Amino acid sequence: MSDDAPSRLHHPDPDPELAVATGQDAAVEAPPPPPPAHDPGGSECRFCEMTRQHQPQCARRLPKRIILVRHGESQGNLDMSAYTTTPDYRIPLTALGAEQARAAGQRIRDVVAGSGNWKVYFYVSPYARTRATLREIGRAFPRDRVIGAREECRVREQDFGNFQVEERMRAVKETRQRFGRFFFRFPEGESAADVFDRVASTIIRSEPSRFSPSSPSSLLLPTPLFIDTPINEPMRLRRLP
């Protein structure tokens, strides 16, 4: 993980000592109090601030946790030359990758099932390997525990270009090391900063109406990229045990 990327989603804890003097002994009227601090339990949450929608109730509708899941082993992980003949979005899981995804589903269910009234909602990219990962993960969850699932193109893998010629990609990645991994943009593709922007906006703008205040909910994103990029650190994420 890297500390290079700026933190965009960190929500500071409210200051319990924050107060305004009343000025009871003053001859003039005390100045108006400053606007209230952003309080995740009541006033205005980060979602409201970013979308300019002042809906105090939405802070109580955000999911309890967001879980990012890397896809299982893919054919491209075994053989990089696969990217020279197969479009990135069509690269499939291997048999081992499917087993890994099923095991991940069981582990995730163990994590989120601590509450008796828990539910989950899935976001998945349109890539073949992430869709296959979600199918295997989903086997661990009863239908009545799944709020829904949505295919979302903005949480897809970083775009490294079109068909990837091995010799050219080696040279490009050497240049990336000199330039800086986060801001280097691949020819015909994206930088990690580009991915940060589109993914962060997706998570921030996840509709709070999907989540019930009475049911602790988890938002799961089976996606290839996050575990290996600086997006990890700004979102204050941790690995599951």
Residue-wise pLDDT for 83-96, tens only, equals 999 999 999 999 99
Say which range, 45-54, 69-78, 120-129, 188-197, has the weakest mean pLDDT: 45-54
- Whether pLDDT at 44 is above 50: no
How confident is the model over 158-209, as pLDDT tens digits? 999 899 888 898 999 999 999 999 999 999 999 999 998 888 877 666 555 5
Catalytic residue, chosen from 44, 71, 152, 190, is 71
Residue 11 known to be catalytic: no
Average pLDDT over residues 226-231: 38
Average pLDDT over residues 218-227: 55
pLDDT at 205: 63
CA atoms within 13 A on the CB side of 3: 0
For helices 128-138 and 95-112, what crossing angle results, to 10°?
Answer: 50
pLDDT at 199: 82
pLDDT at 79: 93
CA 118, distance to chain mean position in Å, is: 20
pLDDT at 60: 53
Average pLDDT over residues 147-156: 90
Higher pLDDT, 5 or 85: 85
Rounded to an integer, what distance in angstroms lies between the CA atom of residue 241 and that of residue 231? 20
Q: Which residues contact 120 (CB under 8 A, 6 or more apart)?
A: 112, 141, 145, 146, 147, 217, 218, 219, 220
- Whether pLDDT at 11 is above 90: no
* Domain edges within the chain: 46-228
Q: Look at the alpha carbons of 61, 105, 134, 91 in this order and tell me if their dihedral is positive or negative.
A: positive
pLDDT interval class at 235 (50, 70, 90): very low
Higher pLDDT, 13 or 197: 197
- The share of the chain scoring above pLDDT 70, in percent, equals 58
Nearest CA-CA partner of 213 in 91, 64, 83: 64
Rounded to an integer, what distance in angstroms lies between the CA atom of residue 35 and that of residue 38? 9
- Whether pLDDT at 239 is above 60: no
- Whether pLDDT at 59 is above 70: no
pLDDT at 201: 76
Rounded to an integer, what distance in angstroms lies between the CA atom of residue 175 and that of residue 21? 57
Architecture, CATH, for domain 46-228? 3-Layer(aba) Sandwich (3.40)
Higher pLDDT, 66 or 30: 66
Higher pLDDT, 66 or 13: 66
> What value does the mean pLDDT of the chain take?
73
Catalytic residue, chosen from 73, 152, 157, 190, is 157
Residue 71 known to be catalytic: yes
Q: Look at the alpha carbons of 44, 209, 218, 156 in this order and tell me if their dihedral is positive or negative.
A: negative
